[in-house]
Amino acid sequence: MSVNPADSQIFGSLFGTDEMRDLISDRAQLAAMLEVEAALARAEASLGIIPREAAATIPAAARVELLSLDKIAASTRTVGYPVVALVAELGRAAGADAARYIHLGATTQDIVDTALVLQMRRAVAVLRRDLIVTARALADHALRYRDTPIAGRTHLQHAVPTTFGLKCATWAAPLAAHVARLDQAAARIFVVQFGGAAGTLAALGANGPAVAAALGRELDLGTPDLPWHVTRDGLAEAAAICALICGSLSKFAFDIILLTQTEVAEVFEPHSASAGSSSTMPQKRNPILSEYILAATRAVHAMVPIVFSAMTQDHERATGPWQSESLAIPQIFTLTAGALARARDLAAGMIADPARMRRNLDATRGLIMAEALAAFLTPSMGRAAAHHAVARACDRARAEDRALADVVADDAELGRRLSREDIQRAMNPASYLGSAGVFVDRVAARVAALK
């Protein structure tokens, strides 16, 4: 039985991905901790602190399958951390001669934190890959529908025409920005943790900084200016970027949900047999991908404050905040990966209906072109006068249930200023798209440059 649906055999495929679960699983965490212990042995041997024979034996024994997971679990229940038992099990597997050189100068948090950084680096690579794939799919739609008019909506009401291409570019643009954020943050997040008992590395004498640097090189991680046992901004930044990714995905999903409403019906999720079906209504095609994107992203946004509050750590080692990170960070990455996987599928397969977009543009019988009409009249009337005159015409069109073009043509003031050709030209949605195409091209170029 799973407490968290993201880990459930039944619901797991909706909230997370097997790939991300494998990267943050118990087994993956133990493997990462063993990787750190092996790298520490190699680093210390390279500096002549431990024998080179030990640096060969310890990494060879640092395999999860050689350890007793039952013993590690039992010890963790008593000690509160898995590292004590992990070191003992690694020593048993490596043999007595090598065992005395394992974990030299380190503390539990050094191993756990550095292992977490290794796991996060692999997790971020997955997120980065799927961000690019999703952004490219959206950019393809943006270019395909670059000049396809659609009703722009503000406060859930028709505003002015825009293009479906620009909507797709609006969904794609922040994903490209998130790739840049991940790349820029890497130097701050992917750093080794090595401070010993209280952040001084006193057990290694004058060799502490050299060992930390060598450990970083072994693991291809940066070396911070000092140990970050109680300075958790790197982890908080990683969680924050996940939250930003989820915010952008939730915007995309929410727009799709609104566009699939029966009364709108301009865009649909990719369809296959039984996808989004109802147990009682045969006609239903629910936006199920979008719904689970929203569910996952809301959970991420709820858990990020745990990581931020864990930055308040006491003295040189925290009494509780550090432990709380493990409740949030694995779920944050799993749910972000799940939301992104759903968004990737949605972006690749969503179905647009330009004909319906056009019908909806015409649904208000020209009212959506009121601003365009006012702009057309502004040179001859002035902005304020043109605005008020068109507003009066809109009120009359609503009251009389008539097309705005007909009301304008019959209006004593506006009719003498505008010919029928002027009215048709001013009220053509395709002629009032502003710089939409320019914006689409900019985003498409930005996405195309991602690597």
185-238 confidence digits (pLDDT tens): 999 999 999 999 999 999 999 999 999 999 999 999 999 999 999 999 999 999
Who's near 156: CB < 8 A, 6+ residues apart?
258
Q: Helices 52-61 and 26-46, interaxial angle, to 10°?
A: 170
**Taking the mean position of all CA atoms in its chain, how far away is CA 203?**
41
Share of the chain above pLDDT 70, in %: 98
| pLDDT band at residue 272 using 50, 70 and 90 as cut-offs | confident
Give tens-digit pLDDT for 278-296. 667 677 788 999 999 999 9
Whole-structure pTM value:
0.94
Catalytic option among 2, 100, 278, 419: 278
Distance CA 397, CA 400 (A): 5
Backbone dihedral region of 160: left (phi > 0), alpha (psi from -120 to 50 degrees) or beta? beta
Residue tagged 């092996």 (tokens): 38
Catalytic residue (one of 317, 356, 392, 402): 317
pLDDT for res 277 = 61
- Tell me what the mean pLDDT of segment 382-401 comes to: 95
* DSSP code, position 222: B
Residue 132 C-alpha from the chain's centroid: 11
Average model confidence (pLDDT) across the chain: 95
The pLDDT assigned to 3 comes to: 81
Which residues have C-beta within 8 Å of that of residue 73, sequence separation ≥ 6?
A: 82
pLDDT at 20 > cutoff 70? yes
Is the pLDDT at 2 greater than 80, yes or no?
Answer: no
pLDDT tens, position by position, 122-149: 999 999 999 999 999 999 999 999 999 9
Q: Could you tell me the domains of the chain?
A: 25-106+194-223 (1.10.275.10), 109-152+164-191+228-362+436-451 (1.20.200.10), 367-426 (1.10.40.30)
Q: What is the DSSP string of 290-347?
A: HHHHHHHHHHHHHHHHHHHHTT---TTS-SSHHHHHHHHHHHHHHHHHHHHHHHHHHH
**pLDDT in the model for residue 276:** 60
43, 9 Cβ separation under 8 angstroms: no
- Section 153-158 average pLDDT: 96
Is the pLDDT at 275 greater than 80, yes or no? Answer: no
Locus of tokens 């996808």: 275
DSSP assigned state of 48 = T
Spatial separation of the C-alpha atoms in residues 238 and 122, rounded to whole Å: 13
The yes-or-no verdict on residue 118 having pLDDT over 90 is yes
pLDDT at 274: 62
- In single-letter form, the type of residue at position 346 comes to L
Write the CB contacts of 98 (distance below 8 Å, at least 6 apart in sequence): 53, 54, 57, 58, 61, 91
Query: Which segments of 190-318 does DSSP mark as H helices, in order?
Result: 208-219, 233-259, 288-309
Task: Decide if 217 is catalytic.
Answer: no
Radius of gyration of the chain (CA): 30
Instruction: Say whether pLDDT at 273 is over 70.
Output: no
Q: From CA 280, how far away is CA 305, in angstroms rounded?
A: 40
Among the listed ranges 6-10, 326-330, 346-350, which one has the minimum average pLDDT value?
A: 6-10
Which H or E run contains 162?
strand 157-163
Chain centroid to CA 425: 43
Rounded-to-integer distance, Cα 110 and Cα 36, Å:
9
- Our answer to whether residue 317 is catalytic in this structure is yes
**Per-residue pLDDT averaged across 78-101, rounded?**
95
Asked whether the predicted pLDDT for residue 108 surpasses 60, the reply is: yes
The string over 199-233, giving b where at least 16 C-beta atoms fall within 10 Å of a residue's C-beta and e elsewhere, is bebeebeebbebbbbbbbbbbebbebeebbbbebe
Residue type, 50: I
Confidence of residue 363 (pLDDT cuts 50, 70, 90): very high
Of the candidates 213, 242, 212, 238, the one whose C-alpha atom is nearest the C-alpha of residue 311 is 238
Which tokens sit at 427? 């009220």
Instruction: Report the chain's terminal Cα–Cα distance, integer Å.
Output: 40
Calpha distance 162→418 (Å, rounded): 25
CB 396 within 8 A of CB 407: yes
Residue 407 near residue 365, CB atoms below 8 Å: no
Q: So what's the pLDDT on residue 1?
A: 55
